[in-house]
Structure 1
């Protein structure tokens, strides 16, 4: 009887030790996020990537989202410093650092976010990565949000109606568009937009129509002008702390990168496209005044005229990056337009 109990005890101890070793072997990749939990980035993109990572590493690495670590413009540094293992952010929040990245934001791309994101990744790898704008970080993916549109408290009937209006602008290419429109720019991260509109601090915002739902703008920006192809695309990157990657085995590090890159970029762009469709539906159901501008409408023609020469401004701005930016921009548009989803 004593021998049997001893064997059972040893078996239990071995089992517990095995479970402890399994738990110890599991690595958590802490991903910092700054948008609401219901936003597509947190509800779809991170969970999907996390599932891919867990499957690719056979459960050894799992992704967990952490909120409230800081302003999105600080997340590049927070990940580099190891406060978080990974994150994403909008390049326009950090003026001067990500000059090449803003090429994908140039007006008149006229494609889905998925198509533009795939093109963006390929061009980033071929042209932009060598300039090392993400110094201190490992880029896991790049993507864009859907077409930025005009969303205001009061209706507008022409671009001229925006002159002098206080418009929340995140930076990047939209800042140049706002400058040409003669608006008064107000800087703030996207999660603050609802409050700014509700309190009348701003008259409107340039954002994709997805935010009619995810940021509840259908409650405070009751007028939307949807230009064909939008005004711009917003440029983001998903990045990882290199030291975190180095702490993993070669096998797990390679596994994570195998489900990143173009695969991750395409998935993120596609998810944000889906959010645009849901945002449009939510706006329509809420009775938002949506003006869908056709390509031959005077509104669209005025916008096309407004943005003339912006390509050259970007090309001049990246002249010090040592990159064939003109070829990169042409290739970016060519890939995006030929991409089949």
Structure 2
């Protein structure tokens, strides 16, 4: 670890013309590695990452550039992103798979706890200091974050209420969503995205959970209904290796911080704009869209309270206090 970090510091020093230990001052351009779990360059998360890369290049007069590696182009699993950042294997990343190393961040994904972007930001401000401490221990610095649209329920047949989940097999993208499906008599199924369509065609699942602007883009033609209850939130974070950040000149650090915040806002806004547009498109092609009823929203919260409390107990540490503060702030 120490040797790798020493090499990284030396490389950054060379790239920005900082003096090395032996007194040399050499200015030369350097290209560093950035990675994302996304596989298409046009996706909002990647566009945000590109914004960061462009701003850093501008602030460093072109001496610091990044190669953006889309999903699958590096031999690094998405679940290992935080470790790869901390070890300096990559210097910048769009990281959605961080709960394994900073478990307290899981409060942001608890089922039915957060319904709107405003509620998410309220909860995030509470948990942010604890997340920063966790990532600090990994040698990683958070510089921005973005939120995906609501994760709603799509039915091959009629699903227009939580009661309609009874006995149905629903493909979920997280254990949190699975808890909600189970609470209302359904059976959560975990399969890769590429297997959803074949599973529907073989009558192996009765529906799935995703966003209109997400998986439903290609799957909506296979379903009849969309029940717009936000089952859980999905977010992602822009992060940098702390040693890399520390070796940057102050002006470049400032540019990186600002770019990270801007990138998060950009990706969030692009995703938020896409969701209603795609929901309308799905309606026009025959999907019956039903807004979540207030009664179901209340029922979901009440059913998930024990799940939230179990998560806090199992996570331990500051989790119970953080959950209590967020529930108070959100009135839940």
- The TM-score range, normalised by the shorter chain, is 0.7 to 0.9
Residues 123-162 of structure 1: pairs in structure 2 closer than 5 A: 123-132=126-135, 135-162=138-165
The answer on 1:218 being equivalent to 2:215 is: no
- Cα distance in 1 for partners of 2:202, 2:136 equals 37
- Aligned partners of 2:168 and 2:206 also within 8 Å: yes
Deviation at 1:164, TM superposition (A): 4.1
Write the deviation string for residues 149-198 of structure 1: whole angstroms up to 9, x where unpaired. 10132222442432443322222532322332343333345566556556
Residues 94-109 of structure 1: pairs in structure 2 closer than 5 A: 97-106=101-110, 107-109=112-114
Greater C-alpha radius of gyration: 1
- Cα distance in 2 for partners of 1:63, 1:192 equals 34
Deviation at 1:267, TM superposition (A): 3.4
The answer on 1:85 being equivalent to 2:91 is: yes
Residue 47 of structure 1 corresponds to which residue in structure 2? Answer: 50
- Cα distance in 2 for partners of 1:277, 1:41 equals 18
- Range moving further from structure 2, 77-86 or 101-110: 77-86
Unaligned ranges ≥5, structure 2: 1-25
Does the C-alpha gap of structure 1 residues 201 and 52 become closer, same or farther in structure 2, counting only changes over 3 Å? Answer: farther
The answer on 1:184 being equivalent to 2:190 is: no
Does the C-alpha gap of structure 1 residues 265 and 195 become closer, same or farther in structure 2, counting only changes over 3 Å? Answer: farther
- Cα distance in 1 for partners of 2:60, 2:165 equals 51
Does the C-alpha gap of structure 1 residues 321 and 147 become closer, same or farther in structure 2, counting only changes over 3 Å? Answer: same
The alignment's TM-score, normalised by the length of structure 2, stands at 0.73
The alignment's TM-score, normalised by the length of structure 1, stands at 0.72
Residue 281 of structure 1 corresponds to which residue in structure 2? Answer: 280
SS in 2 for 1:139: strand
- Cα distance in 1 for partners of 2:86, 2:194 equals 23
Deviation at 1:50, TM superposition (A): 3.3
Residues 233-244 of structure 1: pairs in structure 2 closer than 5 A: 233-244=233-244
- Aligned partners of 1:151 and 1:206 also within 8 Å: yes
Does the C-alpha gap of structure 1 residues 322 and 306 become closer, same or farther in structure 2, counting only changes over 3 Å? Answer: closer
The answer on 1:110 being equivalent to 2:112 is: no
- Cα distance in 2 for partners of 1:202, 1:133 equals 41
Does the C-alpha gap of structure 1 residues 189 and 65 become closer, same or farther in structure 2, counting only changes over 3 Å? Answer: farther
Residue 31 of structure 1 corresponds to which residue in structure 2? Answer: 35
- Cα distance in 2 for partners of 1:63, 1:205 equals 37
- Cα distance in 2 for partners of 1:56, 1:198 equals 52
- Aligned partners of 2:102 and 2:134 also within 8 Å: no
SS in 2 for 1:216: helix
- Cα distance in 2 for partners of 1:89, 1:195 equals 29
- Cα distance in 1 for partners of 2:137, 2:227 equals 34
Residue 329 of structure 1 corresponds to which residue in structure 2? Answer: 326
- Cα distance in 2 for partners of 1:195, 1:244 equals 45
Write the deviation string for residues 34-88 of structure 1: whole angstroms up to 9, x where unpaired. 343443323x322333344344444433444322135432333333444433323
Does the C-alpha gap of structure 1 residues 177 and 99 become closer, same or farther in structure 2, counting only changes over 3 Å? Answer: farther
- Cα distance in 2 for partners of 1:193, 1:35 equals 18
Deviation at 1:202, TM superposition (A): 3.5
- Cα distance in 2 for partners of 1:301, 1:45 equals 35
Does the C-alpha gap of structure 1 residues 216 and 80 become closer, same or farther in structure 2, counting only changes over 3 Å? Answer: farther
- Cα distance in 1 for partners of 2:137, 2:287 equals 39
The answer on 1:315 being equivalent to 2:283 is: no
Unaligned ranges ≥5, structure 1: 1-21, 335-341
